[in-house]
Amino acid sequence: MLYIKWLTSNKDEFNEFNSSFTLNSLLARPAQSKEYVENVVSLIENDVLLYWDDAIKELTKKFDLVDLDNFLVSKNEFEEAIKEVDDKLKKAIGISKNNIEKFHKRQKVKNLEPEETSPWVFCWREFRAIESVWLYIPWWTASLFSSVLMLWIPANLAWCKDIQICTPVNKEWKISPEILYTANILWINKVYKIGWAQAIFAMAYWTKQVSKVDKIFWPWNAFVTEAKLKVSKFCSIDMPAWPSEVLIIADEFSNPKFIAADLISQAEHWKDSQCVLLSTSTQKIKEVLFECKNQLIDFPRQEIAIKALENSFAIFVDTLEQAIIISNQYAPEHLILQVKDWNIYLNNIINAWSVFCWSYSPESVWDYSSWTNHTLPTNWFAKSYSWIWLESFWKRITFQEVTKNWLQTLKNTVEDMSLKEWLFGHKNAVSIRFKNFS
């Protein structure tokens, strides 16, 4: 196989490799030093546990250059934000809200009716909403107000009682008006002006100004993800995920302009994002590389996108089947099939979160308005985690009823097994019932 690194030079030369070691090295995600991230987040956690709200204020001042007295967004701030959002965007947000609701309403699952699994044994399952959830809405180089829709809508449909959001403030001491407008039309009145790792610790451990929640949603950067992993012993989290990524499989029929645009749309998330192209055509790879350079001229987020593309690569493969094997090994967050006969390969896709088929399915449509949810696992976690949906906001509870007749039938089975495991209380819980049968 052959590979080429993105934007590391002006040469279009391919490097040859045949070893699995080289492939594994390519497939590794770019990341900051794990030890550095862990140390920084541990220091933040210690500060919050020692000084609580005072620590959050100081950390916000340090990282966001903002001096906060009150963490909650005021009614006046909501009113001002609504005025700043133009009618065209308000309409777009409304359309996306309706689309996302349609898809998520179809995910409602009925409780299982009691079933007689054996004579005189009845079992069933019921769902209960997680009572209190916190939605972390990023705002750093971009205002991700679409994430308010993606997270609040399934939480609301799941009947969560308490839905709160937090989002960082900018250097002008303001929250994104688009985030506040979206929160307002969804009837969210509790919005906290805090972010980063300290926000995760605040919502997991709670302080005088921040109320504790039962589950935290939305991956962000490496520091937020590390904080989520730390608090997962005390508070449930949706998934560990970061950075963002896309893998595109292309054949000779694909459009290099479309592919380049899709790669850049993912690269602009942040510098440690990664973009991968697998193609059966070396000429197509060169055309895409040329298009990337061309489309990046005067691109507003050029610095971020170029840095991400320097962490990215393309591989020439002999067959599309070989591309699918590599894709499953990589387990991408987004998989784009720029392949003419894409439908014949779908059954072979094992590890990917969201798949986009052929030329007119850009990932950006899904990010905003194509119904499905854009909160999903990255960094190999697509092998074991799934996307956010209604059940992410539910707990499953099972119920059992065993009649006296059936307990008598199972008496010897349970007693023999519990004795073998040295769990004498388990045996006695059955035996005592027979000593006291009326």
The residues carrying an active-site annotation are: 333-334
Q: Which residues pair with 129 in a beta bridge?
A: 394
Distances in whole angstroms, Cα of residue 160 to Cα of each of 133, 214, 392: 7, 11, 11
For residue 291, what are its two tokens?
A: 């298009």
The DSSP line for 24-62 is HHHHSPP---HHHHHHHHHHHHHHHHHHTHHHHHHHHHH
H/E segment holding residue 154: helix 146-157
Residue 23's Cβ-side half-sphere holds a number of Cα atoms within 13 Å equal to 18
Q: Are 160 and 133 in contact (CB under 8 A)?
A: yes
Q: In angstroms, rounded to a whole number, what is the distance separating the alpha carbons of residues 359 and 161?
A: 41
For residue 289, what are its two tokens?
A: 């590389």
Evaluated on CA atoms 295, 300, 301, 306, the torsion sign reads positive
Quote the Cα angle for 18-346-320, to 5°. Answer: 30
H/E segment holding residue 181: helix 177-185
DSSP state at residue 199: H
Q: Which residues pair with 137 in a beta bridge?
A: none
Q: Are 388 and 150 in contact (CB under 8 A)?
A: yes
For residue 231, what are its two tokens?
A: 């608090």
Give the E-state strand segments of 344-421 in sequence order.
354-357, 394-402
Across 211-245, b (16+ Cβ under 10 Å) vs e yields eebbbbbbbbbbbbbbbbebbeeebbbbbbbbbbb
Residue 147 phi/psi, 5-degree rounding, is -70, -25
